[in-house]
Amino acid sequence: MRLPSALTGPLLAISSDMRFADALLVTLRRHRIPCLSMDGCQSAAALPVEGFGAIVIDLDRAADWHVCGELAARAARKGVPVLATSDWLAPDGRYRRRAFALGCAAFIAKRGSPDRVIDALRRITDGERNVEVLGV
């Protein structure tokens, strides 16, 4: 797997799902991608985005979508891509379309391997947007 080449700072992982956050951080560190984590979206609502290379926000609760939109808007002004991960999936794609409408560069289904986040990061640093990673 080719790693993301153009991250300008550490990745910030925001999740209230500690099992997912731990697996993601272990994967990122295994690939020598610097990372930090925060517990939950509400903690990140007023977080400054400067200095991060990318932000992964795990959308567990309905209220997380609002925080995601605010964070993605601030991050876009600073050139920091936001990747949404979630178990909110629908056959008609409404949740991934919602993530893109909020300004997220990627929507990643939480099921399966955290390596899919690295694949999405690579694609985003290569210039892609509206990246969908849904398979297991």
pLDDT digits (tens, 9 = 90+) for 86-131: 998 888 999 999 999 999 999 999 877 788 898 899 899 888 999 9
Tell me the mean pLDDT in the region 12-16: 92
Tokens representing 32?
A: 């020598």
Q: Please report the domains of the chain, with CATH numbers, ordered by start residue.
A: 11-133 (3.40.50.2300)
Rounded CA gap, 135 and 132, in Å? 9
pTM for the full model? 0.91
Residue 135 CA to chain centroid, in angstroms?
Answer: 16
Question: Is the Cβ–Cβ distance between 35 and 11 less than 8 Å?
Answer: yes
Q: Average pLDDT for residues 2-17, to the nearest whole number? A: 79
- Containing H/E element for 84? strand 82-86
Question: What is the average per-residue pLDDT within 38-59?
Answer: 87
**What is the predicted pLDDT for the residue at 5?**
59
What 8-state DSSP symbol labels residue 12? Answer: E
Mean pLDDT of 54-67: 92
